[in-house]
Structure 1
Amino acid sequence: MIRDKIVTADEAIALIRDGDVVSCSGFVGIGTPEELIASLERRFIETEGPRDLTLVFAAAPGDGKERGLNRLAREGLVQRAIGGHWSLVPKLGKLATDNRIQAYNLPLGTISHLYRDSAAHRAGTLTKVGLGTFVDPRQSGGKINARTTQDIVRVMEIDGEEWLFYKAFPINVALIRGTTADAEGNITMEREALMLDAQAAAMAARNANGLVIVQVERIASSGSLDARSVVIPGVLVDCVVLAPPSAHKQTYATDYNAAYSGEIRVPVNKIPALALDERKLIARRCAFELPLGGVINLGIGMPEAVAAVAAEERVLDHLTLTAEAGVIGGMPQGGLDFGAGINTQALLHQNQQFDFYDGGGLDLACLGMAEIDRMGNVNVSRFGSRLAGAGGFINISQNARRLVFAGTFTAGGIVTAVEDGQMRIVTEGRTRKFVEAVEQVTFSGPLAAAKGQTVYYVTERCVFRLRPEGLQLIEVAPGIEIEHDVLAHMAFRPLIGDVAVMDPRIYRPKPMGLAAVLQDLQLTDRLSYDEERNILFANFEGMAIRAESDIQCVRRVFEGMCARAGRRVALIVNYDGFRIEESLADEYFEMVASLQREYYSTTTRYTTSAFMRMKLGDALSSRQAAAHIFETHAEASEFICTRAHFAGAA
């Protein structure tokens, strides 16, 4: 092993050969090896080489103007590009849409997984991500232009189910960024905002007998790096390049923020309340779908306002926000800081984050929408010569348990007003967004409907829900006329049944009291009442009582349910995985005993936890409340039914 791997950028880049497949890390400006990219650009200008490279990138390493991979948008230098997100590399995107290079747009998460699968010498990545979208080979297979003819995605059937197989390819060169290196090439990333796929890409290049070049901002002495902090071991690295500070900013907008790297936690400044415009109206309606205690992804643009509404309504602390680049918890950032987070709970490798996303880890995703058609298909990726790319949209939208699309009803100059709680369209947008057929399918409505995914489409004036037959209009804003303000500006007529009025609190300036609303809605979802047998079942599995407001919510919802029943009910409660703050236990069990005395004829509870059975028994017995506690649902139900039988016989 070469002991001293520290070289100049030009010396490292000189090793790249014509025709190489070059992967480049970067999420906007985070992790983007600007010094290496600039050196490659400079070499091509001066020597006209290397030529005919294939560029591979998951998230666009660029600023939407000149930096990042925009530097490499030169004919002759690039022959082919395979990317997930394209909107921040418009110069490279123009080469693609002008048919001057071969180009593919694949889901960001799938490219991330391809790095890992290439490293393991697997044939490719097998996934359902992309089915029914433009990535599906029965549509375009991810090809961006006519010049691109090779199929790299194919449909496979396994046990009667369709999958997409993305063919792996060798990585000849990996351009990566870290923080600190030693002479042996061990790389740490303590000042980086993200780890991205640096490790997987390095492994892929190393196992293809390729070249791994890492840009860093500082050099440490040999043997001084903590082994647990090393993200890329030196055995994977060929060259280390020390970059000047100007080429190693933490993001394109920020030289360095210690909160982005997790070095410190910072007080979160109060997020200013949004003006009551269409952006806030949409975000407010979306916020009614937030799952308290849930894991959420908020897309860029309109969905970012949902976080501001959640903060104003004091529910932000009850949510776990995530970003596809690897951030878990905290507050994801926007603009050219997008991808970073402050006060994060954890930071994953990007491919691991997409393992979590693809497996259904998101309770809710709120994403933007540009074009929507009658079947609920959404396009956010391609508009004529403008190439945005799918990014992580396909992975996220296809696999989130609950999905909300957010956007104005029309685009281009829309002006709205809210007067006395009534919505008014002052100036209609120039462009329809609800079209007969989307230009490109980034989200498949029929596929989502077939698997029973809950999907809403929220605008400032109305809400649609996805049904198997297509879009159904389910809500309109107060003051909005369906024919004049909605249907007249759509290229198709949606399904229309009983149309409700959107919650009037959305259109009032004061806070909506969302925390109590969401608590009640989500607790109600845990209850079911069998009127014929007069049995109320409460599923408290995994539920947590963290505040007095949680106790008040339980009382309020149970009192309402029992009042509607109009008689005493038999109650069965599942306490598996139930958690309660010790300081709240007395108040909670006093409330439970009070409800039991007033509303229940018979009560049973069950949990597989022996400790919880003991705790419940002690708490209820000490309050003179009957404590019929069992291990299984079957035992609890049998007790209830036996009691009912003897009561009937008597």
Structure 2
Amino acid sequence: MNKHITPAEAAALIPDGAIVSVSSSSGLGCPDLMLKAISERFETTGHPQDITTLHPIAAGDMSGIKGVDYIAKKGLLKKIIGGSYPSGPSSSEPPLIWQMISGNEIPAYNIPSGVLFDMHREAAAKRPGVITKIGLDTFVDPSRHGCAMNEAAKAEAVVEKITFAGDEYLYFPAIVPQVAIIRATTADERGNLTYEHEGAYLGGLDQALAARNNGGIVIAQVKRITKEGSLKPHDVRVPGMLVDYIIVDPDQKQTTQTVYDPAISGEIFRPLDSFRVPEFNIQKVIARRVAQELEAGSCVNLGFGISANVPRILLEEGLHGAVTWVIEQGAVGGVPLLDFAFGCASNADAYMPSPYQFTYFQGAGFDASLLSFLEIGRDGSVNVSKLSFRPHVTAGAGGFVDITARAKKIVFSGMFNAGAKLAIEAGRLVIEKDGKLKKLVNDVEHVTFSGRRAVEQGQDITYVTERAVMKLTPEGIVLTEIAPGVDLQAHILDQAEFPLIVSDNLKTMDAALFSEAPLHLTLPTKAPRTLRGATHG
């Protein structure tokens, strides 16, 4: 059987009403040509109609790779379920998918990325679904939003709360895809897929299994086709027995704004001095303070935002390699990249399939996570997933809920309030004018991380801003450090909607953080691992 067909022929295979699973993480691994072909077929023939799409991470990112925006058309798309969605700056027109979501044209759901991968695995094994504590007391929980992103989604539940073995869990019924659209670098004539130019494996194997085991089809977009038998078996990540059709896009980008960089795919290692270190500014001050929370020898997850610069802080301090970075797309080690290449790493030690990276996160196998915040609530909860006045600027939660649900230690970073006019002078923070929008609020708009569960589980939670460091305790949020030059009452206590507890041992943040000179940072060494009793639930 000749598996190589045109994109138009592949698009014609998708029936009306199909459930279609798409492998992608923003621009990374996005089968953009295939999604474009589906759009073009719909514009020409009016088919396929009323499809439901599953996106465990995201598809497209509004900067050269349209992804899901190709199929964001009324009549084509009936429902969408994603780990996250394309976002855009507040100054730009919202992505088409956001226009459909905010206009209630289709039901839209945000299921944590790791859970959505788990649902594929359960569908592949023909098990009923996922029972998990991931998402309890967050927007995922039916007692809050039940993953619904708009009013249209409230009519049909995708998750329910159950009691199992005397304990409380969330249950996500498995969703069976009829079509899986995945991407790789090379296919041989039998459909065996290798990923040598990709920045991650993502979850293509799990998505292919879910479709194929249930009588569906798998379409793979690749850069090239090679002769049968020419691929090394150990390099094949998705075997040809799971692939029905192949389309070729010789121009597919490695990730957004990157045609091809062999360091992203681990084929070469970049010299360390080729990585740009952050310029000295307020964000760098915060990243430096976050770096002080680390231990040498630890494995640390990294999220988008200010904390993404922390690896560059260690690089600048001569501490590269002291910490192993792990990111949800699957890279382990190396130097995680910034901006539109976020989700990739150069000089990685290894690439884990994303579903297994999420298993690592959900079970708290790692040591710490460095993440951002949009809002912090009185109870320590954090919102990163929704702001009503800027809906398309937030992309949804992605793997945030999977990562934070049981993490031993989390350091959240961000600005204390929004819109402040700040300066740094002589090792001191100067607040020339405070922002009008408070970020420490009585109740966050969307609970992406539950402070209540963190206290119950004994998680170590720190919040780092440009002017203050705070800790979550059973009594509330405790202010532990303030920046030099800051007025405690006017610049901190009066800028929060709720009372902060001022520590009896309140310290001043290290003045070296506010100087351009290197910190001469040293990290304590993580204690060696010892065997401890396994826990479940």
Q: Which TM-score tier does this pair reach, normalised by the shorter chain?
A: over 0.9
- Structure-1 separation of matches of 2:333 and 2:317: 18
- Out of 355, 363, 366, the position equivalent to 2:370 is 366
The residue identity in structure 2 corresponding to 1:461 is: R
Structure 2 partner of 1:558: none
1:208 counterpart SS class: coil
> C-alpha deviations, 1:28-65, integer Å up to 9, x for none?
21111111011001011111111111010011111225
How many residue pairs are counted as aligned between the two chains?
A: 519
1:500 to 507, 529, 534: 507
Taking the TM superposition and a 5 Å limit, the aligned residue runs for 1:300-379 are 300-379=304-383
Matched residue, 1:476: 482
Instruction: Tell me by how many angstroms 1:272 deviates.
Output: 4.6
The one-letter code sitting in structure 1 at the alignment partner of 2:403 is I
**Offset at residue 103 of structure 1 (A):** 0.9
Aligned-partner SS, 2:119: helix
Please give the alpha-carbon distance, in whole angstroms, between the structure 1 residues aligned to 2:286 and 2:371: 12
For the 8 Å contact 1:277–1:416, the answer to whether it is kept is no
Q: Which residue number in structure 2 is paired with residue 98 of structure 1?
A: 103
Give the whole-Å Cα distance in 1 for the aligned partners of 2:256 and 2:376: 33
Tell me the secondary structure at the aligned position of residue 450 of structure 1. Answer: helix
Number of the residue aligned with 2:235: 229
What residue number does 2:256 align with? 252
User: 1:28 corresponds to which letter in structure 2?
Assistant: S
Rounded Cα–Cα distance in structure 2 between residues aligned with 1:217 and 1:25: 16
Q: Deviations over 1:110-146 (max 9, x none)?
A: 1122122211111111221101100001111101112
Alignment of 1:585-600 (within 5 A): none
Residue 455 (structure 2) aligned to one of 436, 444, 449 = 449
Cα shift at 1:91 = 1.9
Q: Equivalent residue for 2:146?
A: 141
Q: Which amino acid aligns with 2:304?
A: I
In structure 2, what is the Cα distance between the partners aligned to 1:178 and 1:375? 44
1:164 aligns with 2:162: no
When Rg is computed on C-alpha atoms for both structures, the one with the higher figure is 1
The Cα of 1:276 is off from its aligned counterpart by 3.6
1:389 equivalent among 374, 389, 396: 396
Whether 2:417 is the aligned partner of 1:410: answer yes
Aligned match of 2:85: 86
* CA displacement at 1:296 relative to structure 2: 0.8
Higher mean alpha-carbon deviation, 256-265 vs 375-384, is at: 256-265
1:355 positional shift: 0.8
Q: 2:24 aligns with which of 26, 31, 56?
A: 26
Q: Does 1:279 align with 2:278?
A: no
Aligned with residue 15 of structure 2, among 14, 17, 24: 17
Counterpart of 2:268 in 1: which secondary structure?
coil
Amino acid at match of 1:139: R
Q: Is the 8 A contact 1:86 1:388 kept in 2?
A: yes
Q: For residues 46 and 427 of structure 1, what CA distance do their matches in structure 2 show?
A: 56
SS of the residue corresponding to residue 369 of structure 2 reads strand
**Structure 1: gaps of 5 or more residues:** 527-540, 543-575, 578-650
Rounded Cα–Cα distance in structure 2 between residues aligned with 1:326 and 1:271: 21
TM-score, length-scaled by structure 2: 0.93
Cα RMSD for the two superposed structures: 1.7
CA distance in 2, matches of 1:274, 1:16: 46
Deviation at 1:326, TM superposition (A): 0.5
1:131 maps to which residue?
Answer: 136
| Per-residue CA distance 1:318-342 (angstroms, 9 max, x = gap) | 1101110110011111222222111
Partner of 2:292: 288
1:298 aligns to 2:302 (yes or no): yes
- For 1:471 and 1:381, the matched residues in 2 are separated by 21
TM superposition shift of 1:273: 4.6
TM-score for the superposition, normalised by structure 1: 0.77
**Which residue matches 1:633?**
none
Contact 1:22 1:171 in 2 (8 A): yes
CA distance in 1, matches of 2:116, 2:359: 12
Deviation (angstroms), 1:271: 4.3
CA contact (8 A) 2:424 2:430 kept: yes
Structure 1: 4+ residue segments shifted above 4 A:
270-273
C-alpha distance 273-329 of structure 1, shift in aligned 2 (>3 A): closer
| Contact 1:445 1:470 (8 Å CA) reproduced | no
Specify the code of the residue in structure 2 equivalent to 1:20: A
Aligned match of 2:116: 111
Give 1:198's aligned amino acid.
G
Contact 1:291 1:364 in 2 (8 A): no
**Paired amino acid for 2:55:** F
Paired with 1:208 and 1:31, the residues of 2 have a C-alpha distance of 24
**Structure 2 SS opposite 1:6:** coil
**What is the percentage of aligned positions where both structures have the same residue?**
39
Instruction: Give runs of aligned pairs for residues 538-549 of structure 1, distance below 5 A.
Output: 541=528
- Secondary structure, aligned partner of 1:303: helix
Q: For each residue in 1:489-535, what CA deviation from the matched residue of structure 2 results, as whole angstroms up to 9, or x when unmatched?
A: 111112223122222222233222211xx23xx47xx6xxxxxxxxx
Is 1:43 matched up with 2:41?
Answer: yes
Aligned residue runs from structure 1 range 191-202, under 5 A: 191-202=197-208
- Residues 434, 491 of structure 2: 8 Å contact kept: no
